[in-house]
Amino acid sequence: MSDRILMQGNDAIARGLVEAGCAVAASYPGTPASEILSSIDRWRKKCGATMHVEWAVNEKVALEIAYTAAITGLRAAVSMKQVGLNVASDPLLSAAYLGVTGGFLVVSADDPGPHSSQTEQDSRLLAMMAKVPVLDPASPAQAMALAGTGFDLSETFGVPVMLRPTTRLCHASQDVDAPPFRLPVREARFVKDPARWAATPAYRRMLHDRLAEKIAAIAAWPPTAPIRVNPEVSPAKAVVASGVAFAHARELFGELGISERIALYQVIQPYPLHAAFIDHLLETYAEILVLEESAPVIEMQVADRRRVRGRMTGAVPGTGELLPEIIERLLSGFAGLPVPAGALPAQGGGRRPTLCPGCAHRSSFYAIRKAAPDGIYPSDIGCYTLGINLGAVDTVLCMGAAVSQAAGFDYAHRLSGKQVDIVATIGDSTFYHAGIPPLIDAVVQGARFVLVILDNGTTAMTGNQPTPGTGIGAGGETTAAIDMEGLVRACGVRFCRAANPDRLPEFVALLKDALVHAREGGVAVVIARQPCAMVTRAAGGKEPGAIVITGECTGCRHCVDRFECPALVFDEAANRVRIDEMICTGCGVCVYVCPEETIRAESAGEKRS
């Protein structure tokens, strides 16, 4: 048995961080980056390192906490998905100017595709805007190594460094050599220097000059210079690739047998691209093909339009993931081989995602449509975005926007003399993340809407991380817990009531009360409180159910179309609904939903009437 162990990309990044002496780590969960912080906590426990590890309330707070540790000389890291970097961009751009004394790594995971994100944005472009060097690993093993390199780079030049994995790295697993930990120990020491740490605009100009000098020096730093894969040949063409696109390309170079004809380079640090490398490329090659995700960051720095091809020139598709099938076609064409006509893997199609069987969000959405059938339903980011299947989600913009969009709809319609029922939904984690400032704003402006906070006591979509309301920390430790009702009232909301949405008739009545208040009295908040069905199932909390459909089912499809529980299956041949016992949790909410009253709960359960 070898000492190589299976590590997911995120696990490998976490291992690399802990191994390199990261003392403070903060994150807000988001696919594909979520596993990094929980894995940091596991490695921390395994090696006995003294660390502060936390799920922060949002990415901006997470970045500020980790950054501050790095100006006391400690090594620190923050991890997030790419849209989280938008939230954290404010402190990042300033942190680049002020710099650090201890190593500071910003791990921002991109999602070309996108598979589980609102955008395909390229964090490397934001690194470029911030003037922060960025490293682009191609495999879990390389990501683990680059965590340490990144800290070294950060400390050598006193700048924040970005590590940019993508989904196909974060969620790839690989056998990785895991040697014993060597843990450096440092002491926090903040050296006061207000001209730097609290710089006014006059000083900022000087800091900007200094940052430009650092970036020029980093563009000549040997440890992150591009790697030539096949130095033994001298062809006229070169492929320059980074990230997982490089991994695909390297495998295909072998399969297609083109290593003799085309030079292959891996760029480790897309920004700043090494200046000597740019000169070398332009002096040596007649044609250069750049393969990178998602934006043309390398390509735009090799600015010779006659010789460079890539996403800017249209030689490489300008959007979407660079799948290996696409890279195979591009490399074949570039090498002068016949271009294969193989199929691309199916994108989309098949069964669409749905809320889990037994999920209380389903009850909330069903009730919202009952209580406000002609309403407008702004919603937000989380599992509950799937309320779109139930016709109870009309808008999803970004974290926290459900609240501001609800207010925006009211103001817009008010101008036209109209009053519409607006029922917004937001999850508990998203509410804490970005829902509070817009709620304060809505109260102040007298907006009229109902906000339903779907409080399942967890960040479910990303793998059930704790929220500030749970009183549980990243390592399972006990923390202070936020009182959600108290918080809502402190925002100035006068109608705030909590209830279990699985008690459907009562919940519909509560929503109607809230709507009456909203029409006349401003914002009403209803907290739909019921634990996540996945957590309940994992805890072995509920026995698989004894829900039955009686012989009188008319095949009206109301439960299938409007409630959409995966455990309710329409049998086309028999023209009736049956229960899928493999997945039914026995929650019994569908008993209320059937207009013909043909769904029954056989055994007495807590939630069944």
Partner 1 sequence: MSADVGKLPLMRQQVVLSGVGGQGILFLSRLLAEAAIAAGFPVLTSETHGMAQRGGVVVSHLKVGGFDSPLVRTGRADLLLVLKEENVALHREFLADGGTLVVNAPVPTDAGPRVRVHAVDADALALSAGTPHAVNLVLLGFALTRVGGVTAGGFFCTAREIREALSRRQGGGGSRLADSLSALDLGIAHGT
* E-state strands within 495-583: 495-499, 524-529, 547-549, 568-571, 576-579
What's the closest the beta carbon of residue 342 comes to partner 1, in angstroms? Answer: 5
Cα distance from N-terminal residue to C-terminal residue, the chain: 56
Q: What angle separates helix 360-371 from helix 504-521, to the nearest 10 degrees?
A: 50
Q: Is 175 in the site for partner 1 (CB under 8 A)?
A: yes
C-alpha to C-alpha distance for 49 and 37, rounded to whole angstroms: 15
Q: How far is the CB of 223 from partner 1 (least distance, A)?
A: 17
Contact string 411-450 vs partner 1 (x = CB under 8 A) = ----------------------------------------
Answer yes or no whether residue 323 interacts with partner 1 by CB under 8 A.
yes
Q: How far is the CB of 462 from partner 1 (least distance, A)?
A: 8
Q: Which of 51, 130, 135, 141 binds partner 1 (CB under 8 A)?
A: 141
Per the CB < 8 A criterion, the answer to whether 437 and 402 are in contact is: no
Does 45 bind partner 1 (CB under 8 A)? Our answer is no
Q: In terms of CB distance, is 359 or 424 closer to partner 1?
A: 359
Task: Report H helices in 462-502.
Answer: 484-490
SS3 474: coil
Residue 100, by phi and psi: left (phi above 0), alpha (psi -120 to 50) or beta? beta
Cβ-based nearer residue to partner 1, 116 or 156? 116
- Using an 8 Å Cβ cutoff, are 507 and 362 in contact? no
Q: x/- contact string, 452-471, with partner 1 (CB under 8 A)?
A: ---------xxx--------
Q: Is 351 in the site for partner 1 (CB under 8 A)?
A: yes
Supply the minimum distance, in Å, between the C-beta of residue 456 and partner 1. 13
- Crossing angle, helix 140-157 and helix 201-218, to 10 degrees? 130
By CB under 8 A, tell whether 356 contacts partner 1: yes
Residue closer to partner 1 (CB basis): 231 or 471: 231
Long-range contacts, 388-392 (Cβ 8 Å, 24+): 389/352, 389/354, 389/355, 389/564, 390/362, 390/365, 390/366, 390/562, 390/563, 390/564, 391/562, 392/365, 392/366, 392/368, 392/425
Positions 240 through 259 that interact with partner 1 (CB under 8 A): 244, 247-248, 250-252
Q: How many residues bind partner 1 (CB under 8 A)?
A: 56
Using CB under 8 A, pick the residue from 24, 85, 241, 383 that binds partner 1: 383
- What is the residue type of 459? T
Stretch that binds partner 1, among 28-36, 51-59, 362-370, 505-513 (CB under 8 A): 28-36
Helices (H), 336-380: 360-371
Minimum gap (Å) between residue 106 Cβ and partner 1: 21
Which ranges of 77-166 would DSSP assign to H, the alpha helix? 82-87, 89-98, 123-130, 140-157
Contacts with partner 1 by CB under 8 A lie at 1-2, 4-6, 8, 31-32, 34, 115-116, 138-139, 141-142, 168-169, 171-175, 244, 247-248, 250-252, 323-325, 328, 342-346, 349-356, 383, 385-386, 461-463, 544, 566, 581-583
